[in-house]
Amino acid sequence: MTDESANQEGRPKRRHFLEVFLGTAAVASLASFFYPVLRYIIPPPTAELASDTVLAGHVGDLKPNTGKIFRFGSRPALLTLTSDGKYHAISAVCTHLNCTVQYRSDLRSVWCACHNGMYTVDGRNISGPPPRPLESYDVILKGDEIYVRRQKNS
């Protein structure tokens, strides 16, 4: 290889180096512009429920074979009183597509109006599209107050 040809090959090399250098710098600066924007559009996490127990209602609020929605942190939950006098508490957020379920006295079941999903009062999915059971909570009676607590294993 003569000196001359080496010199000629050196130029494209230098150009290539400059292109890579400029390209990397451009990509890096773009990344530094977009990274804050990407982080910005995802909101900061909301505060979780301070305790795992909430007051869902009082004895006497519910007649047998009825149910009511209460707030469990930021999400709705369902407290039901069956005909035999037992309280049940479950999440009211349907496992299918997120609608809020309700207790149907006529069916003695928990029903989601959006896509006709059906659960038992303790949250087991029995018919329709729901793929999973609703989360079930512990019910604790203290005097006439009804407390609902997230189960330990979940």
Partner 1 sequence: MDATSRLRRWFDERFGWNELLAFMEHKTVPRHRYSYWYFLGGMTLFLFVIQVITGILLLLYYQPTPNEAYESVQYIMTQVRFGWLIRSIHAWSANLMIFTATLHMFSVFFLKAYRKPRELTWLSGILLLFLVLGFGFSGYLLPWNTLSVFATKVGTDIAGQTPVIGKWILVFLRGGEDVTGATLTRFFSFHVAVLPALATLLVGIHLLLVQRFGISVPPSVEAEWKANPLQQREMRFFPNFLLRELMAWYVALAVLGALAALKPWELGTKADLFAPAPPGIRPEWYFMFMFQTLKQIPAKIGPLDGELLGVLGFGAAFLVWALLPFFDPGRPGRTQRWITGAGVFALGYVVVMTVYAYVAK
Least Å distance, CB 47 to partner 1, is 11
- Which residues inside 109-128 make contact with partner 1, applying CB under 8 A? 112-116, 125, 128
Least Å distance, CB 16 to partner 1, is 33
Q: Which of 1, 3, 7, 43 binds partner 1 (CB under 8 A)?
A: 43
Is residue 134 a contact partner of residue 92, using CB atoms and an 8 Å limit? yes
Q: Site size for partner 1, by CB under 8 A? A: 28
Q: Is 41 helix (H, G, I), strand (E, B) or coil?
A: helix
**3 state SS for 84-140:** CCCEEEEECECCCCCCECEEECCCCEEEECCCCEEECCCCCEEECCCCCCCCEEEEE
Q: Which of 53, 61, 66, 76 binds partner 1 (CB under 8 A)?
A: 76
Length of the chain: 154
Chain positions contacting partner 1, by CB under 8 A: 41-43, 46, 69-71, 74-76, 92, 96-102, 112-116, 125, 128-131
